[in-house]
Structure 1
């Protein structure tokens, strides 16, 4: 291959044998195939992809992992093999629209030279090319080109279809909780590749039970184990338990939201709060309390087990607008990106999908549409009726999943709601609950372990000086006062109430 071809756009993520790829495609379809070397691969956080074109206009997708980002090569290969098996299984046993897999290899030991899935191209376009709902606030001086915004009727139509697809998934039941793999045309359940066990660096953690699991409590407990080890050894990223990240819905204007975000950043910078032993200990306590809620999740799930039958249903863990393809009339044409899929407890499958992102809250009317779509399909297939009480358990499962997976912005609020649902009581003073937990022997022992890894005062000061030299010393003064107040008050929570109060006070 000439140097010019070797440096073409198509190789921007990896060097591979393009001739072997085209030859494979031609053999599989018995049609002439070409690949535009000037195309720039489409890429996400974990994969990149290019398009192959046949003379009759048919296009296939060639996708390969970005193994230098996020996951190691071995883990990425296992995910790829399981995703390919899951896609083939779903196409064989349901009418859910998913890509057709023509060939795949989970290692570099192939003529093309990289791990890959070769599959059909999804019809339609990603739902994410439209705006799911209108913005809560006008963004001043925005240069973003407005996109088509779905009407409420269109959103309900999509949610109803997702409900029907979920109903089909509820019938694809495996004997254990884990991920699918294929060997010589036979499918088996092996290690569980759930996001909560792999993402955010958790694939590197040792001593996590990874399945397959025979019981729901084993699965939930493994997620707790992953969370507790994450707290000890990995970055907490943006998670500060008693200082949840501001979200636009809490504020009356976009300017107010930006001000709150600035003040939140200032506050968590002072004392390097996020990765401090205090914050890590807060999450350790939250993890212990979440572990105590597992029996509630299981008992209610078991009460409705006869509705679904034996086994555990397959679940897509990332039903975001980028993975849902639709036509011009908002009929769902394809669901892509089944990496991290596994079988799950029934309540986890029936969680209402949050759109545009799974962590997003869903309006009540859209939740009703999703459940109606599920129920209609479920009843047509001759299954038993879904008891209304079961849906409450899906809300618990959603909150639990967001918390243990570190897939939320408002951990404090989610924990408060989940605690109230599990124990049938509204607790208004979570800080006091955590204060009692700190007297437990296991918590005090963990505090000693965590404090050993705290930054030195000089390192913390260096970080503060670098940050506030850019944003202003006045902001440093306010955030230091708030930090002192937080230390003196047992009930201090830096949430939307605080940021709105400050905005009004300084106005």
Structure 2
């Protein structure tokens, strides 16, 4: 299951990149064969009497429900088969499997058990795949709107306890992704960072900022692991600069050839032409970010201890018992990495502005969007306090942490609006002057 550099060019089978308002989006150029999925499931689950049906599609995956019946037909077991697009060949699947295994072995977090997987595309399906446990319960999003504030507190308090356990038991000395030591190539092992768990190491980061898009695999990318948050951010900015440099080169070649379609597969859309027009502004904005980076990430005060964080903890990825509200599982651990403590904040569903004054309670069946928004804002303010009490994470909301998170967020906005990024820089510099810094 260990890749070699020579494998890389052929691993884009079935993948194409499309564009939307927020950037490149992966899409399936080839649909996985369901008969092959059935055959793989029978082989690895040791069951003949099973059925497979399409369940859902995500950003990078197609998910199938496997139902295994007993010989009597009275009992059934369910599993999940997930086929994965080769957005970051080998590393995305290998790191997610390793993360799940470490969590199951060393924490109490309820995460799926992995029964079989293939990190390569050298199999009958032609895609990387995973067979894992189907978590019981219902998606939190199905019950959340109807829960009382007290019911929501039960769930949020438990999530806070899990967050605290992650920060206490999953502390590391580098930013990157987790891997089983035995699965990494010799080259990756040379730069990997050891952990307190001997079977696992921190290796190349699996981060969509670094792999998303047609051009990213063609450029030189420093994928870590990184020994400081400063090194991590510098690597992200370098990837952005190299990506835009390649875009300009390909655009020039396209125009010089006088054709409507690029001769390179990495440049095929009008969106690329439009983005190329913005490249000088993006480069200038990155330079401005580089100029303020030392004031936010001083060399003599770099973060050097990191935690494992589920950055996409939302209503869709938390499973609960709809009666007891006990959390039965936390799913979707792909692209989960170690991060600086300042990046470890609230679950996505709790983010937002504070609202301390309680608005008028909602009447049953109220559909007024303004009243609903105010009520949810007030509820989330209360729930964040519950989360902080359980997780002990209030320290991550000091001004330095907010500035660091703000800086990181600007990198995601570069292609969307350099004006927004420059306004953030202006506000930051103004605040520092007022503070006499």
Same fold (TM over 0.5): yes
Aligned length: 338
Q: CA 1:283–1:42 in 2, change beyond 3 Å: closer, same or farther?
A: same
Aligned to 1:24: 44
**CA drift at 1:204:** 1.9
Q: What is the CA deviation profile of residues 449-507 of structure 1, one whole-angstrom value per residue up to 9, with x for unaligned ones?
A: xxxxxxxxxxxxxxxxxxxxxxxxxxxxxxxxxxxxxxxxxxxxxxxxxxxxxxxxxxx
**CA drift at 1:345:** 1.0
Q: What is the CA deviation profile of residues 238-274 of structure 1, one whole-angstrom value per residue up to 9, with x for unaligned ones?
A: xxxxxxxxxxxxxxxxxxxxxxxxxxxxxxxxx9999
Residue among 388, 399, 410 paired with 1:403: 410
**CA drift at 1:178:** 0.9
Aligned to 2:90: 77
Residue among 347, 352, 355 paired with 1:353: 347
Aligned to 1:218: 231
**Contact 1:45–1:66 (Cα < 8 Å) also in 2:** no
Q: CA 1:80–1:406 in 2, change beyond 3 Å: closer, same or farther?
A: farther
Aligned to 2:79: 60
Aligned to 1:317: 311
CA distance in 2, matches of 1:23, 1:298: 51
**CA drift at 1:424:** 2.1
**Contact 1:163–1:370 (Cα < 8 Å) also in 2:** no
Corresponding residue SS for 2:348: coil
Q: CA 1:127–1:190 in 2, change beyond 3 Å: closer, same or farther?
A: same
**Contact 1:301–1:390 (Cα < 8 Å) also in 2:** no
Larger radius of gyration: 1
Aligned to 1:453: none
CA distance in 2, matches of 1:282, 1:13: 41
Q: What is the CA deviation profile of residues 319-350 of structure 1, one whole-angstrom value per residue up to 9, with x for unaligned ones?
A: 23322223325443222111111111110123
Aligned to 1:473: none
Q: Which moved more, 1:182-191 or 1:415-424?
A: 415-424
**Contact 1:169–1:315 (Cα < 8 Å) also in 2:** yes
CA distance in 1, matches of 2:415, 2:158: 25
Q: What is the CA deviation profile of residues 9-31 of structure 1, one whole-angstrom value per residue up to 9, with x for unaligned ones?
A: xx9523626234213213xxxxx
Aligned to 1:393: 400
Aligned to 1:257: none
1:289 paired to 2:288: yes
Give runs of aligned pairs for residues 94-109 of structure 1, distance below 5 A.
94-109=107-122
Q: CA 1:300–1:167 in 2, change beyond 3 Å: closer, same or farther?
A: farther
**Contact 2:63–2:82 (Cα < 8 Å) also in 1:** yes
Q: CA 1:36–1:388 in 2, change beyond 3 Å: closer, same or farther?
A: closer
Aligned to 1:183: 181
CA distance in 1, matches of 2:91, 2:51: 29
Give runs of aligned pairs for residues 41-440 of structure 1, distance below 5 A.
41-54=55-68, 55=70, 56-67=75-86, 71=87, 75-110=88-123, 114-129=127-142, 148=145, 152-171=149-168, 172-184=170-182, 186-201=199-214, 203-233=216-246, 275=274, 279-299=278-298, 302=301, 311-328=305-322, 330-350=325-345, 352-355=346-349, 361=352, 363=354, 366=380, 369-370=383-384, 372-378=386-392, 388=395, 390-406=397-413, 412-413=419-420, 416-417=423-424, 420-421=427-428, 424-425=431-432
Identify unmatched segments of 5+ residues in structure 1: 1-10, 27-31, 133-147, 236-270, 379-385, 428-507
**CA drift at 1:392:** 3.1
Identify unmatched segments of 5+ residues in structure 2: 1-29, 183-197, 249-269, 356-377
Q: Which moved more, 1:104-113 or 1:114-123?
A: 104-113
CA distance in 1, matches of 2:319, 2:48: 25
CA distance in 2, matches of 1:40, 1:330: 27
Q: CA 1:345–1:389 in 2, change beyond 3 Å: closer, same or farther?
A: closer
CA distance in 2, matches of 1:156, 1:408: 38
Q: CA 1:317–1:388 in 2, change beyond 3 Å: closer, same or farther?
A: closer
Q: Which moved more, 1:207-216 or 1:318-327?
A: 318-327
**Contact 1:301–1:347 (Cα < 8 Å) also in 2:** no
**Contact 1:179–1:341 (Cα < 8 Å) also in 2:** yes
Q: CA 1:100–1:170 in 2, change beyond 3 Å: closer, same or farther?
A: same
